[in-house]
Structure 1
Amino acid sequence: MAGSIDLCVTDANGFGVFDYRFLNRYGNGQEIRVSSINDTIGQIINIANQRSVKIKNLYFNGHGAPGYQGVGSGTGRDTTGNKSLQVDPSDKSWNGQLLGAGSSLFLIIDSLADGATVTLSGCRVAEGTDGKVLLRAVATTLNVWVQAADATQFAWIPGWEGKVWKCSPDGQILCPNGDYT
């Protein structure tokens, strides 16, 4: 049986000592710095294969907005889905399709441990309907639990700011009060 690791995927675009990503990376597993979704997919698969491990906790460390997690976009807004996780706005299905290169995220499924959790750490990622649709899209694409908060995050304050929303592998949203929507 393969061992497991925690992995912190840090958006490398504009990364610096005074950026919140600097502090946010501590305590979230081995860090890799990435410039895009494709870079992320390649590095995750390489680490898992080279070390013969599965990833138990996958932590995306980048800027966010409602329904948006930066993965190589820095403080800018990526509209292509090649440097962010976001749902294709033309897809009106209940679970949504990830936009651009994000639609290839399924390629890391074999690198994830049974019962793995994905954390989207950007500010306000889970806020509103767009936030819940993104959680559902990532959870059903990877068949894992996904979590994110609905408020601005501050790395120098331990824990989450706002409410943490979770989505099950089958797309059920778990509200902060413990009810499902």
Structure 2
Amino acid sequence: MGRPKKPIQRRKNGIYFVQLHEAGRRVVRSLETRDPIKAAPRAEQAIRELQEAETGPRWTADTPVLVPAGDHPIDEHTPAIETTWSEVAQSQEEIKTLAWIDLIREADNVRKRKEGKPYGSSWHRNIGIAIRGVPFTLQEASPQTIRAWIKELQDAGLSGLTINNKCSLLSEEEADRMVGCNWGVSL
């Protein structure tokens, strides 16, 4: 659920609106009034609607989770077992799936945090071209699927340098450099 930061605000033209921050993004809903008395009850409804409109789960399959060892809640007397969210989730719908664009955003955020500046427009253009050509999702990425894709590229007559350029962003070393984590996929 998004955490309100000054949820009710007023634009320069006098119209009130509600603003929530969810998953690093700003979500806005206009209250369509200049009257602060009318804005208050509309704001409550708008906040509720924005929070209910939140779709999708919050945790990926590999997120660590502490589960109580017994029937009692976790405290200093009850031991906890560490597991992953994929083992605890009731269904697949509760597991957040990542897309290639999520990897790009995370890489850009890490670059901003570490070096104080984001990647340039040429990097975004090149990685966008490379990812559009990938025939599988991030969850389907495995050494076998990547090898099969490379085989398809070779059969299509592409040169080794072209294939290397297309595949370099999927390598484990490149992913480590981009986001500072191990995605577990290597060529």
What range describes the TM-score normalised by the shorter chain of this pair?
under 0.3
Structure with the bigger RCO (C-alpha within 8 Å, sep 6+) is 1
User: Over alpha carbons, which structure has the higher Rg?
Assistant: 2
More helix by share: 2
TM-score by length of 1: 0.24
